[in-house]
Structure 1
């Protein structure tokens, strides 16, 4: 995928199959999940890592411009708890899907985003999920944030790509602009599968989206404990925590 990166992703190889599915012990399942998660080492410098993915098709032009001004706030939010490296992923046009390198300076990422314009095309959410799975296989990824307004791929295919993220403990936070019911159903399911969250924001609601993005960045940098600590002072953190709880319980 992406600039100098391949978007293909293979699910982690499973361990030995049990003799009978009916007799699989919870301890065996837990051991398998622990083994898969352990394959993604923590970065040596201990910094958090967040993949920030955007739909840059033509319908996203207003929010793309907005995101260019909001991303710096994500770094400011986590500066007090150890820092955050971010990778920008976006898709647009006919089959174009790109990823930046890992960036620790919000200004550099903002400069990159400012050079990108939106182009007509179909959604490529599956390629984003597959790419995130590959990155999580190289080193631990705290979270994947996706901002979009549509889903034109099949849900089963997207869930298959999200599976490796779920196994590696990478939550997907999906922020939906608008009220497309197909996108909402798909985004909710991906959030449920990965232990992430789905939230809707209104078109042009800069403050609302900014709070949600900063809360997701805090999670990526410090985990749920850091997000919980932020909840007393941040409506975005409270909304994200509630959405995570709702996704895990299947609440609609």
Structure 2
């Protein structure tokens, strides 16, 4: 199916009708590039928004602002939200620099039943990275309903492009864990599991990746959390 491109932001091939209120909001939160935008770190924040993820989505909404707090004062971090849900809906916002704008965008999205679309996440990351470098991709999810070998090939492609995947798993599905760990290895990124009953866990993971996206390994090393140390150990071992 041909890609649909509403004026509000980037969009991926999808089926069904896209909510007009979300499309309108994406237009409003788009930010003009800063004069030094080429020097800003860029982080793609991708989330599974299928029905099982609503508690985790609500948690991420409440914690996402902490990503911006982890970067140096003389730096900036551009974040793009990408989510999938429902019958083929997979959408990306414009790049934003404002934590409040990102929170408003996330809070306006409700999770819907549907299958995973991780392949679209990896494809979008590849295409965006070709246009302008992305420093890191975060993916938060709890399931895989796609061909793992095909996804692994795409993760390897991202690794060859210098784009690491940071995969955060909710739950204890061993098949998902094995796949996420392989995607992280192939892309030269990192894997971690989090528990919604321990919100600080996810907060520390998001802060650690934001630090990496804004300043690379040196900035990540300045983070004192156990999550940052664990991610750094994986990255340096690639």
- TM-score > 0.5 by shorter chain: yes
**Cα-Cα RMSD:** 1.7
Deviations 1:16-71 (A, max 9, x none): xxxxxxxxxxxxxxxxxxxxxxxxxxx85300000000000111010000000111
Q: Relative to 1, partners in 2 of residues 1:171 and 1:199: Cα closer, same or farther, differing over 3 Å?
A: same
Tell me which residue corresponds to 1:169: 162
Does structure 1 residue 53 correspond to structure 2 residue 46? yes
Residue correspondence of structure 1 range 1-252 to structure 2 within 5 A: 4=6, 5=10, 7=12, 45-230=38-223, 233-245=224-236, 248=238
Q: Which has the larger radius of gyration?
A: 1
Of 142-151 and 236-245, the range deviating more from structure 2: 236-245
SS at match of 2:97: coil
Which stretches of structure 1, 4 residues or longer, exceed 6 Å deviation after superposition?
Answer: none
SS at match of 2:145: coil
The TM-score with structure 2 as length reference comes to 0.84
Q: Check conservation: 1:3, 1:100, Cα contact below 8 A.
A: no
Q: Relative to 1, partners in 2 of residues 1:201 and 1:3: Cα closer, same or farther, differing over 3 Å?
A: farther
How many pairs does the alignment contain? 211
Q: Check conservation: 1:63, 1:204, Cα contact below 8 A.
A: no
Q: Relative to 1, partners in 2 of residues 1:122 and 1:71: Cα closer, same or farther, differing over 3 Å?
A: same
Supply the distance in 2 between the matched residues of 1:58 and 1:191 (Cα, whole angstroms): 25
Q: Relative to 1, partners in 2 of residues 1:154 and 1:3: Cα closer, same or farther, differing over 3 Å?
A: same
Q: Relative to 1, partners in 2 of residues 1:161 and 1:3: Cα closer, same or farther, differing over 3 Å?
A: farther
The TM-score with structure 1 as length reference comes to 0.79
Supply the distance in 1 between the matched residues of 2:197 and 2:51 (Cα, whole angstroms): 16
For residue 6 of structure 1, report the CA deviation from its aligned partner.
Answer: 5.3
Deviations 1:69-98 (A, max 9, x none): 111010011142501000000001110100
Structure 1: unaligned runs, 5 residues or longer: 9-42
